[in-house]
A = this chain, B = another copy of it.
Amino acid sequence: MATASGDTHNQQESGLSKLQFVPFSSALDAGFWHELTQKKLNEYRLDETAKVIKGYYFNGDPASLPARLTLEFSAFDVNATTPAHCCPAVGTLYNTNTFESFKSCDKKLLLEKAANEIWEAIKSGDALENPVLLNKFLLLTFADLKKYRFYYWFCYPALCLPEGVPVVQQPVCLDKRFSTTQIQALQKAYDELCKMEGVTALPYFLIKYDDNSVLVSLLKNWNDFFQDQKQKVTIGVYDPSNFTQYPGWPLRNLLVLTAHRWGKSHDSFEVLCFRDRTMQGERDVTHSIIFEIKLLELAQSSDCPKAVGWEKNQKGGMGPRMVNLSECMDPKRLAESSVDLNLKLMCWRLVPTLDLEKVVSAKCLLLGAGTLGCSVARTLMGWGVRQITFVDNAKISYSNPVRQPLYEFEDCLGGGKPKALAAANRLQKIFPGVVSKTSKGWSRYLLVINAALGFDTFVVMRHGLKKPRQQESGDSCSKIPFSSADLLGSSLFSNIPGYKLGCYFCNDVVAPGDSTRDRTLDQQCTVSRPGLAMIAGALSVELMVSILQHPEGGYAVASSSDDRMNEPPTSLGLVPHQIRGFLSRFDNVLPVSLAFDKCTACSPKVLDQYEQEGFNFLAKVFNSSHSFLEDLTGLTLLHQETQAAEVRKQARDSGADPTCVRLCGNLTHLHCEHAMPCGDHTHVHRIVGH
């Protein structure tokens, strides 16, 4: 399984064979890749700088397993506890942004850099104090998050002694050299040292023994520990290898340290590769191996020794490995991650301040699931919105599927499926992670966006967002972050805060009626250029998302066409009140209009009445003629007054009556709106989200 890998030196050179070592096999589990994905998406993004990660290795595996350096999800938390009876290794992660830079990365240089750090730690004595400095590793990765393929190349840098490590006595199992008493004494001594150090495993230690006792100590205590033992010293290493002839990789840097420190003062060194297995409840260290080697001194002035350590790939050659996690992932979770990815990529470089959570967590209620509703729903899905509810009691007809992108021909058969249900089901088919429902009513939503189509014109607008009723008088501003414009007072059409904006019906001088009655065919159905609904639907959602990015949300001051040259108020740009589009000119304008105090939908009189009477009020509206709402709101009176004012005005030549001007201004505005064929309420679509 693992192949024993020696130094480049010929092992016959000095008459003694050279020691060979079992390299680490990297063991990067799915949790590691999952965590890397999350880090890359949310934290590293385009940052390619080196990151500190942590792995561990174990000396208690069954005989068949290779020596593994394991990285799991906890690898990114350098303060995470190392699993019991395992030794930590501190690594450096180089996660590249592109496969190209992964491939072209200078691996020789990375290895040399790591080797040098180890060499410096050896020379300075830091490695004596903190032997984990000898346990370095490198990990070069490229995460192709589009396909869930992870390319990686692992390296455990090992410094090489120039002459290799001549073996004086070949390795034998510990029970060939130690008595049972000695073995038990070793276990006890090791356990006590660990306990003293507050760990459950020690990578390197020193051993002294005689027939009756075994003593162990820390590396840094060498001089004291071995002061009475000038010739024979034993070094212990926590050994992940299971081979009876070969120690694992961690010994290598320890030997270099030893050669550097004590190569001069000792002819040979005994090495105990401590292996500590528990099989069926029985602890067993007898398969540990022990042998004797020579180490030539490495002078303080020496250059950093040559280093090796890049792992071979599965084919046994020098090259990276690849793991394809898409195959073992749940397709639905894969879809969710992929959708997330596309969104998070926006935050990497383009809009780092984008608050995706505000968008993704929005709950959206779609009133209507026709040409506009379908396009709106699809755009919401694109933005990662997961909670979408449809209200529409129509059935799907044959002309729908080519313009209503949630339906197909089959949905039209047998009289047609109910739209709301079919739309909700289609969303599930597109993306199983969505929670799509149908509804017959609607609860309170915080932001209302609506779209309406003419033949080649559209309006997309946010409705004015009223202040909560109790705050209108008295202690306002306590909850809602009103902008300074609010306090300063707003001029006619600039700096109008959200709560002063009109709703869709503020532009109407008559109450809305049943627009499906008494209409010719081309008025009954959406006779519009087919691209129009897609454009208006998409803009509705984009407007909603922009508003959600504004710190004041629906209360944000409305942007107008004039603001196009100014610094935008959100990371995504402007937050207009209305977008009115003219397809024949490929043009959009951004008008702003104030709430109309006689609006048949949002004026105080209507809201008061609704608050008092609830559904009874609605029933009254539905069952009576237009004039009911017009009388209630004062529209009827306004019409009469306007006519009277016109008469007075004509009689007076040029009128300076401010009331008259106000009224005319109002009506001119309203008529101007009506000149654009957007006022057809059958084609109106609303999304409401919070």
Contact = CB atoms under 8 A, between A and B. Distances in A.
B572 A576 contact: no
Given A342-B403, A349-B522, A382-B531, A409 B430 contact: yes
A398 B327 CA distance: 12
Contact of A335 (B409, B429, B539, B579): B409
Number of copies: 2
Contacts of A98: 518-520
B574 A338 contact: no
Which of A350, A519, A534 counts the most B-chain CB atoms under 10 A from its CB?
A534
A432 interface: yes
Contact of A348 (B379, B402, B522, B574): B522
A683 interface: no
B399 A338 contact: yes
Interface string A578-607: 010001111110100000000000000000
Contact of A542 (B342, B517, B527, B583): B583
A331 interface: yes
A346 B432 CA distance: 38
B527 A345 contact: yes
A97 B409 contact: no
A214 interface: no
A543 B397 CA distance: 28
A626 interface: no
A526 B146 CA distance: 11
A145 interface: yes
A614 interface: no
Interface in A427-446: 429-432
A456 interface: yes
A534 B538 contact: yes
A521 B99 CA distance: 10
A225 interface: no
Contacts of A97: 520-521
Interface string A493-529: 0000000000000000000000001111110111101
Contacts of A583: 542, 572-573
A402 B381 contact: yes
A429 B409 contact: yes
B529 A539 contact: no
A430 B455 contact: no
Given A339-B402, A534-B534, A409 B432 contact: yes
A530 B381 CA distance: 9
Contacts of A418: none
Given A98-B519, A338-B397, A399-B338, A572 B456 contact: yes
Nearest to A349: B522
A637 interface: no
B401 A331 contact: no
A408 interface: yes
